[in-house]
Amino acid sequence: MDKLLIEGGAALSGEVAMSGAKNAALPLLCAALLTREPLTFTNVPALNDIDTMLRLLAQMGVVVERQGSQVTLDAAGLSNPVAPYELVKTMRASILVLGPLVARFGEARVSLPGGCAIGARPVDQHIKGLQAMGAEVGVEHGYVHARGPRLKGARLFTDMVTVTGTENLMMAACLADGETVIENAAREPEVVDLANCLVAMGARISGAGTDVIRIQGVERLRGVTHRIMPDRIETGTYLCAAAATGGEVRLTGTSGAYLDAVIDKLMDAGCEITTQRDAIHLKAPRRLTAVSIRTAPYPAFPTDMQAQFMAINTVAEGTAVIRETIFENRFMHAVELIRLGARIRIDGNTAVVTGMERLEGATVMATDLRASAGLVIAGLVAGGETLIERIYHLDRGYEGLEQKLSALGARVRRVK
């Protein structure tokens, strides 16, 4: 199994390009199931999760063509509306085939999804929504089995804000009979990117980006070409890496537009940040000031940036309080950061981090995608060598991580 060896101490500097967003690309690829016409996506990141999603779609009968960061999907011959356990177990987003499959095919069997081990992560809201739209849905032998010849528009209210839940139900509603209203909808930019593509395909959607989305069902959708939005979490991760190491970087092919909460906190920590239309520049102070955060649905501070902020606080001046309100088990990185000498106390969903002058390199284990990113940041500032095990998590979500970090002057390499 690959590991990442980091020799800490180098301040990151220079310019690097950000990739397309994993969490926008995954639902968008599933939108191809809604039409008989080919859909082309550009700016698709080269990630294990994308490979898994393309394999999943291919075994359903979708024709997949991939050239670099361009992917064309043709679901005219869709024949097998099944998402098997072997493909679904590593990736939460595979549940996103459920809504489109029932809407277009009238039936779907989808294994209960895996993904990052950060909480129980049920899919009851996805199921409840489809049932409200007239589908018969049951869970048997670890599979969600949904049937519904033609979904009917309905008024949907989710118990909590759910990103993939909103995306699944919005896609299903596009081909339903009549109007669907999703209340308490997720406002994440990835939901808006999906809605923009669906609208270009002929869907009638309004309100994406607010907490009430209205969808008027249409008979059919057409093929289009769509550019995947930049990855705001990858961008935030590189900003944190530069901030922690006292560096100065320019990130291109990205935007500060969806990163207000993160940029605000980095500025509170003492960083100078300027944003242009498609680039962000950060200059870090000699030492960061501790910043407290509380994760919550967009536009508040993203849970997918919590581990990275825990890492930067381990070497900041002062004490930070970190509250995780989205997932019940998303502090797994804390014990690994403690191995590097960090001072962290956990009490339920709260972590109290007291900054140290420096961390010391050690062997640590990556437990999930963003936990791994937090460990990489800590390794970059720790004295000596840090060896990160189980980096397959990173390959799910960070395109060319070692190459990009090396381009910024980090001493990092993959070892067997």
Q: Which residues are catalytic?
A: 116
Among residue numbers 326 through 385, which ones bind ligand UD1 (CB under 6 A)? 326-327
CB atoms within 10 A of CB 246: 18
Shortest Cβ 123–ligand UD1 spacing (Å): 5
For strand 248-252 and strand 13-17, is the pairing parallel, antiparallel, or unpaired?
Answer: parallel
Shortest Cβ 257–ligand UD1 spacing (Å): 17
H/E run at residue 57 = helix 48-58
Binder among 125, 235, 237, 367 for ligand UD1 (CB under 6 A): 125
Q: Which is nearer to ligand UD1, 14 or 142 (CB)?
A: 142
Q: From CA 372, how far away is CA 381, in angstroms rounded?
A: 15
Q: Which is nearer to ligand PEP, 262 or 290 (CB)?
A: 262
Angle at 175 between CA 182 and CA 153, to 5 degrees: 45
Question: Site map for ligand UD1, 23-62, x if CB under 6 A?
Answer: x--x------------------------------------
Q: From CA 306, how far away is CA 295, in angstroms rounded?
A: 7
The annotation status of 403 as a binding-site residue, yes or no, is: no
Q: Which is nearer to ligand PEP, 77 or 142 (CB)?
A: 142
Closest CA to 16 of 412, 410, 301, 415: 410
Q: 162 with 123: CB under 8 angstroms?
A: no
CB atoms within 10 A of CB 30: 29
Contact status: 316 vs ligand UD1 (CB under 6 A): no
Q: From CA 112, how far away is CA 105, in angstroms rounded?
A: 19
Q: Which is nearer to ligand UD1, 77 or 122 (CB)?
A: 122
Contact status: 93 vs ligand UD1 (CB under 6 A): yes
Among residue numbers 35 through 94, which ones bind ligand PEP (CB under 6 A)? 91-93
Contact status: 394 vs ligand PEP (CB under 6 A): no
Phi and psi at residue 293, in whole multiples of 5°? -140, 160
Maximal C-alpha separation, the chain? 62
Per the annotation, binding residues for UDP-N-acetyl-alpha-D-glucosamine are: 92, 121-125, 304, 326
Judged by the rule CB under 6 A, the positions of this chain that interact with ligand UD1 are: 23, 26, 92-93, 119-126, 160, 162-165, 303-304, 326-327
